[in-house]
Amino acid sequence: MRDLGVGFGHLLKGQRWVARHGRQFGFGLVPGLITLVLYAAALVSLALWGQDFVTWATPFADDWSSPWPGLFRGLLTALLFALGLLLAVVTFTAVTLLVGQPFYESLSETVDRDVSPDGTAPESELPLWRDLWISGRDSLRIVVRAGLWGVLLFALGFLPVVGQTAVPVLGFFVTGFFLTEELTAVALQRRGVQLRERLVLLRSRKLLVWGFGTPLGLAFLVPFVAVFLMPGAVAGATLLARELLGEEIRDGDGRTDPEGAPDAPRDEHAHR
C-alpha cells in the first residue's frame, strides 16, 4: 500500500515543480487548450446526437411495449456517453502530448536535470520527426488497448448491480494505468525503453501506477482541470519514471533512492 502514497506524492511534486517554474507552465497550457476545444466539441456532439444514434442502432426495440424502449435506449445512451468520456480521458493525454511533444520533451529533461544528483538528463539522439513518429505510433497502440478495455467495460455495464458499482471503479483504475503509461513515456522513451518494456515495468508496480494515475484520471473529468494539470503531470511522471527505474531523486528534502525498482532495458539511442 506504500506505493499508492508514493505514486500520489510524485503527482503532487510534479504540480509543485511547475508552480515554481511559471514560464514553462504557461507554455504547457497551449497544447492542452487546443486539445480541449477539439474534445469538447466531440463530447457535445455525442450528447446532442447520441440518443438518435442509439435509436437508429436498435430498431428491434421499436415493437417493445412502453416504457421498455425508452428505458433501454436511455440506458444505452448513458453508457455510450460514459464510454466516450472514458476514451476522452484516456486519449486526451496522448493527443495533448503529441501536439506539445517538443515542449514536454524539454520540460521532462529540465525536471531530470533538476532532480538528478549530477545535474544531467538522458537525451534522445533521434531526430524530432523520428521521436514524433515513435510517440504517435505508441500512442495509437495504447489508444487501441484502452478502446478494447472500454468496449469490455461497456459490455460489463449491463450486468445487474456489478455494472453500476464495481465496473465504474474498475474503469477509473484502467484509465489511471493508461494515463500513467502515456505520461511516463515522455521520460522513458528518451531512455530508450520501448512500449512493451514500459508496460512490463508499469505492471510490476501497479499500486505505484494507480496512486499516480487514478487520482489524475478523476481530476481530468472536471472541465478545464486537465489543461492546467498537464504540465505538472508530465513533471510528476518524470519523477515516477526515475522511481520505476531505480534512479536517485534529489529534491528539497534530500536524496532518495527508490527500493526494489526493477531495471529496464535501454537501447543505443539514449545517453547514459
Highest mean pLDDT among 49-53, 201-205, 245-249, 255-259: 201-205
198-202 own/partner pairs: CB under 8 Å, 24+ apart: 198/264, 201/244, 201/245, 201/262, 201/264, 202/177, 202/244
Crossing angle (nearest 10°) for helices 22-57 and 101-115: 130
| The predicted structure's pLDDT at residue 259 | 42
Count the domains in the chain.
1
Q: Which residues pair with 256 in a beta bridge?
A: 249
Phi, psi of 257 (to 5 degrees): -115, 105
Q: Which residues pair with 250 in a beta bridge?
A: 255
Residue 232 belongs to a domain: yes
Type of residue at 175: T
Residue 271 belongs to a domain: no
pLDDT at 106 over 60: yes
Residue 131: which pLDDT band, with cuts at 50, 70 and 90? low
Give 13-80 as a DSSP string: HHHHHHHT-HHHHHHHHHHHHHHHHHHHHHHHHHHHHHHHHHHHH-GGGGGSPTTHHHHHHHHHHHHH
Residue 272: which pLDDT band, with cuts at 50, 70 and 90? very low
Cell reading at 3: 506505493
For residue 123, give every residue at least 6 positions away whose Cβ sits within 8 Å of its Cβ, in sequence order, or none: 109, 190, 270, 271
SS3 content of the chain, % helix, strand, coil (to 5): 75, 5, 20
Residue 85 belongs to a domain: yes
Instruction: With beta carbons less than 8 A apart as the criterion, state whether 32 and 96 touch.
Output: yes
Residue 256: which pLDDT band, with cuts at 50, 70 and 90? very low
Containing H/E element for 256?
strand 254-256
Residue 267: which pLDDT band, with cuts at 50, 70 and 90? very low
pLDDT at 76 over 70: yes
Give the predicted TM-score (pTM) of the model.
0.72
Lowest mean pLDDT among 77-91, 175-189, 219-233: 77-91
Sign of CA dihedral 77, 79, 82, 83: negative
**Residue 128 class from Cβ within 10 Å (0-12 exposed, 13-18 middle, 19+ buried)?**
exposed
pLDDT tens digits, one per residue of 133-154: 776 777 778 778 877 887 787 7
**Residue 73 class from Cβ within 10 Å (0-12 exposed, 13-18 middle, 19+ buried)?**
middle
Residue 265 belongs to a domain: no
Provide the domain limits for residue 183: 2-249
Residue 254 belongs to a domain: no
Residue 262 belongs to a domain: no
| The predicted structure's pLDDT at residue 129 | 63
pLDDT at 111 over 50: yes
3-state SS class at 264: coil
Residue 46 belongs to a domain: yes
* pLDDT (mean) for 148-164: 76
Residue 254: which pLDDT band, with cuts at 50, 70 and 90? very low
Residue 128: which pLDDT band, with cuts at 50, 70 and 90? low
Residue 260 belongs to a domain: no
Cell reading at 140: 495509437
CB-facing half-sphere around the CA of 211: CA atoms within 13 A: 18
pLDDT tens digits, one per residue of 197-243: 999 999 999 999 999 999 998 888 776 788 889 899 999 999 999 99
| The predicted structure's pLDDT at residue 263 | 41
Task: Identify which has the larger pLDDT, 215 or 69.
Answer: 215
Give the separation between CA 267 and CA 189, rounded to whole angstroms: 10
- Mean pLDDT, the chain, as a whole number? 80
* pLDDT (mean) for 59-77: 82
| The predicted structure's pLDDT at residue 213 | 92
Containing H/E element for 166?
helix 166-190
CB-facing half-sphere around the CA of 118: CA atoms within 13 A: 5
Share of the chain above pLDDT 90, in %: 21
